[in-house]
Structure 1
């Protein structure tokens, strides 16, 4: 079930080309504007989570968890419910990031990615259902908004203060890493395996960065 949903999510979010376009949108900025916090909406999301496994992100789950009028808090329908859940998790991550003891930026980013997944460990089925919903036609922009907000939250919680072009490139790179790690986690679920997968991806990014630096240095020398 999870494997088929992951395949569906990859197909729905896009082929390699469409995923690349989505990451480019994130890298260009403009998608990470925060939602306005709403305590009533947060409470409704938390109350409906136990029902999402059976009913999906739906009016039925909202009403069963938070009362007969709970769906009125989400005029955008199920996709807005998923977005509200994602936004709540981002804010919880931002708070949790203040307690991290890691000081190196790269290690803080790693810890925050894993913490973001850990925050949803009890609601993995709800996340899976949300990914399946976002894989449906018409939800690509909503998916991009959520991914952009999450990676922006991770960088902010890590302490990144860049304002130049690197701000956007960092977010585009992390978006790809986070999406791949999220899909791996949905498929396998094991925290240790997920951490190892993330470490391999981070190591790959580091190798590419070093190679680019060497090539850039060589190019500068050849121009002298």
Structure 2
């Protein structure tokens, strides 16, 4: 089970780890140093973070998501087009990062084959947090496609941002706008397919096939990426 990101002891461990991450990455050495510097009993630290520094890296990412959501909530987005709201949310997610090297090291960690699932889940969580904060109410297959698309945009943006040395991140800002443009072109193409009488039967078939796809519930399966619900159960 993942550690509780709101745990003050976990928060103290993350803060203590950050000065060491630049030198040792999210490694056992960093975890040991964080436990020592935060003056926390090793047994308690291991209870909170069974995977050591990996759990600290996860907590650091989730802390950024929480800060982004707070910033989105405080921002006045009423005059923005929806595409601009999404772009602004991505920029806010980058702005709340207080340690670029920690993100760089985290990206390296979660690129490892045995950590790829954790990394994918974290980025999906960021995309979900953005859509939820912006008021997305979709509960069908669109719930997935929105998050899947934004996951790709955010992942590419972070990689670009890590290598961006332009003034005030202007190159990253332009990169975000280009990626959002790509997404809008894709959405336009989807609309054209639905409007094309020759392709309408295909679109209708796809809609029927995906009609049983529902967003995760808030109950026991809330931690799953999604479930399939049969809209026509046997009688």
TM range (shorter): 0.7 to 0.9
Are 1:56 and 2:12 an aligned pair?
Answer: no
Q: Secondary structure at the match of 2:142?
A: helix
Q: CA deviation at 1:60?
A: 3.0
Which residue pairs with 1:81 in the alignment?
A: 56
Q: How many residues align?
A: 190
Cα deviation, 1:185-212, whole Å, max 9, x if unaligned, reads 0111442110100100111111121122
Which residue pairs with 1:67 in the alignment?
A: 39
Are 1:144 and 2:120 an aligned pair?
Answer: yes
Which residue pairs with 1:15 in the alignment?
A: none
Between structures 1 and 2, the one with greater helix share: 1
Which residue pairs with 2:95 in the alignment?
A: 118
Structure 1 137/181 Cα, relative in aligned 2: closer, same or farther at 3 Å?
A: same
Cα deviation, 1:129-179, whole Å, max 9, x if unaligned, reads 011111222111111111111111111112212222211110000000000
* Alpha-carbon distance between aligned partners in 1 of 2:165 and 2:94, rounded to the nearest angstrom: 10
Q: Is the 8 A contact 1:34 1:149 kept in 2?
A: no
Q: CA deviation at 1:47?
A: 2.6
Which residue pairs with 2:8 in the alignment?
A: 39
Unaligned runs of 5+ in 2: 202-235
| Counterpart among 53, 63, 68 of residue 93 in structure 1 | 68
The TM-score, its normalising length taken from structure 2, stands at 0.73
Q: CA deviation at 1:90?
A: 1.0
Please list, as runs of the form range in 1=range in 2, the aligned pairs for 1:132-171 lying within 5 A after superposition.
132-171=108-147
Q: CA deviation at 1:119?
A: 1.1
Q: Is the 8 A contact 1:100 1:108 kept in 2?
A: no
Q: CA deviation at 1:34?
A: 9.7
The TM-score, its normalising length taken from structure 1, stands at 0.77
Structure 1 219/39 Cα, relative in aligned 2: closer, same or farther at 3 Å?
A: farther
Root-mean-square deviation (Å): 2.3
Q: Secondary structure at the match of 2:114?
A: coil
Bigger relative contact order, structure 1 or 2 (CA pairs below 8 A, ≥6 apart): 1
Cα deviation, 1:36-58, whole Å, max 9, x if unaligned, reads 53121122212321221112113
